[in-house]
Structure 1
Amino acid sequence: MNLFELNTPFPAKVLSISDFTAYLKGLVEKDTLLSGVWLQGEVSNLVVASSGHCYFTLKDDQAVVKAALWATNRRKIGVNFKNGDFLMVFGNISVYPQRGEYQIIVNNLRQAGVGALYEAYEKLKIKLQNEGLFDESRKMKLPLIPKGVGVVTSPRGAVIQDIFRVIRRRFINMPIYLVPVKVQGNGASDEIASGIERLNSDPRVDVIIIGRGGGSIEDLWSFNEEVVARAIEKSTKPIVSAVGHETDVTIADLVADRRAATPSVAGEIVVPVKIELKEYIARQQKRLAKALRNILSYQKQSLRRLAECRFLVKPSLIVAEKHVKVMNVAKELDSTFQMYIQRIRHRCELLKFNLKALDPNGPLKRGYVLVTSKEGSVLNSVDKVSESQKLDLHFVDGIAEVTVGKIAKGEK
């Protein structure tokens, strides 16, 4: 049917764009399959509005879907993401009428692929950290010169070659014992843990290196497994972790006693440079010999001074000298004691004189009398007596009773 021909009948029902979009919106939002669905894809075109809402696109190699994450849900989820991240999002499919586009309204999201591995890494990291596996207090010191070095890594590749080359260059006759293992893929983590246990039971080994070359987080994942972390924790010998490059930090790196940025650095950490060690020992031997010579010289001088000491030549001199000192001290003590006795005697004489001056019989001997009432009160004024009052006059040799006659106040 050609609607543009003049004789073509007009359609019985014509929908507006709004009605059509509303109808599709109803179909989509009422569909049970599209209400609560998980989608997975790469983030692109991320826009964060001033209101806190996020708008972005999820895509794979064949299609794209618009997505909206409201600010309230964004705060609840608490997951930050950026363009290029691979996400799994959960939400409801809806139609945005103003643009005629369908989109997913995101209620939850999580990292997918690498993001999921990173989430597992963070969970295990927090768990082991809470158990104290990362504490410096539990880490062992490396031996200065190990009897032998154990290496747990792949027998192929540059890692073992780098370790061998560095150790041989630094300490040419240092024994190296390799336990070949897979370093990625299924079963790799179990092989690494078994290799650590095997070297722990080998008495020829004093220190262990575990490592592999760089790669993605998936490539390094065997060293993020809990079984490897537990094997490192149980090790009775110090372990150096040399996994990936300096920017790659695995769980094994955190639990190990030392972390090396690269396998080559691990070789440098576990053994000293033999030539430098010999030179150091030679320097220390010279310093020790010089110190011993200085001590012997000093002791000889001390013996010489002792041999020339007159007291050692004739011991009676020191006895006589000490005797003189003792006698002098005795004289000083005697003199001091005598002076002290004199001071005490003088003080006693003064006290005796003062006491004698206070003796009430003294004035009586000189002709004075002590007048007291019959009650024994001392009377020192005519105001205290009355006529016809009986009084006692105390003389030096007795007491006379008298009666007061006339009182003449103020007369002598």
Structure 2
Amino acid sequence: MAKDDLHPATLAAQALGTIDESTQALVPPVYPSSTYQRAADNSYPTGNVYSRPDNPTYKPVEQLLAKLEGGEDALLFASGMAAAVAVFQTLKPGDHIVAPTVMYWSLRNWLKSFAAQFRIGLDLVDMSEPDAVAAAIQPGTTKLVWLETPANPMWSISDIQAISRLAHEAGARVAVDSTVATPVLTQPLALGADLVMHSATKYLNGHSDLIAGALVTAKTDDHWQALVKQRAQGGAVLGPFEAAMLLRGMRTLHVRVCASSATALLLAEALERHPAVEAVLYPGLASFPDHELARKQMQGGFGGMLSIRVKGGARAAIDAAARLSVWKRATSLGGVESLVEHRASIEGEGTPVPDNLLRLSVGLEAFEDLWEDLDQALGRVG
């Protein structure tokens, strides 16, 4: 059976099925070497010069991710922030960016500072409204439209296909933070995006034990080569041992994402009926404003992330989180353990997040345990 005929879950589980030629090992070796020997003729016959731009441990991970996303190439970075920052740093003074009002808070704050410092125009808009995106795009000046879908922590959905068409007509590139959807549920490149970014710390690794980021490109064009150069010169590379751990995590990506998505939907449906919950934000619910778009754009599930707004305000939400025991109070998402966070406390002043919102990252625990823990914690609200 040809490799191209295999299901993505099979390709992930077998890490593309590559066998180490010298040892016949099923697991690719780790190459900790920081440098490589030249041949007698002063050349580098393997193509490896120095580990910052060249490390064979990166290749299986990058090849697998590119395959899962339907891209031509991928790059690993030291973190999701490093991957995202590299994209923005290819812009020049006078360029213009359109980005979401609601997005990963750390990147939003960095982006506002970066744009001001380097005289780059920036408009933050509601990306769930293509008309708002169209109004913000400046033909010839807008060089990048940045999407995050589902968008953390309100989980609004952006129409990748429609926005990509608008951006390309104006001469802009489209980059999508697809950390929450993962290639299991959405392939942005197939919908017209030029780049996909992942905080690989989250679902791609899935075990809360490393920090990593990645970019995937639809085409290995001049812009991509600028990103390759940016990583090599900037030095925000992943260590070889971390790359090997990431590959191990990606082998179970499909089963983890599908399992957490199924549990998240059950929890969202139950929470929607809970008397202490003001609202449930989850794309899989028919009541969610972007549900129909999510059904069209996300295949096989709606992700493992949801948020609830607790009746009684910020104090009630924080108190409810304090009563949880199965759910762990911690920042981050996408791990095998379920996490809860009062997001407004993390984001601080100026956040668009409601102060009664709790963000829930659904792990791999039994639904019954997760639900009983939530129910007892919320049952004392008010």
Q: Do they fold alike, i.e. is TM over 0.5?
A: no
Q: Which has the higher helix share?
A: 1
Q: TM-score, normalised by structure 2?
A: 0.25
The structure, 1 or 2, with the larger RCO (C-alpha pairs under 8 Å, 6+ apart) is: 2
Q: TM-score, length-normalised on structure 1?
A: 0.23
More strand by share: 1
Larger Rg, first or second structure (1 or 2):
1
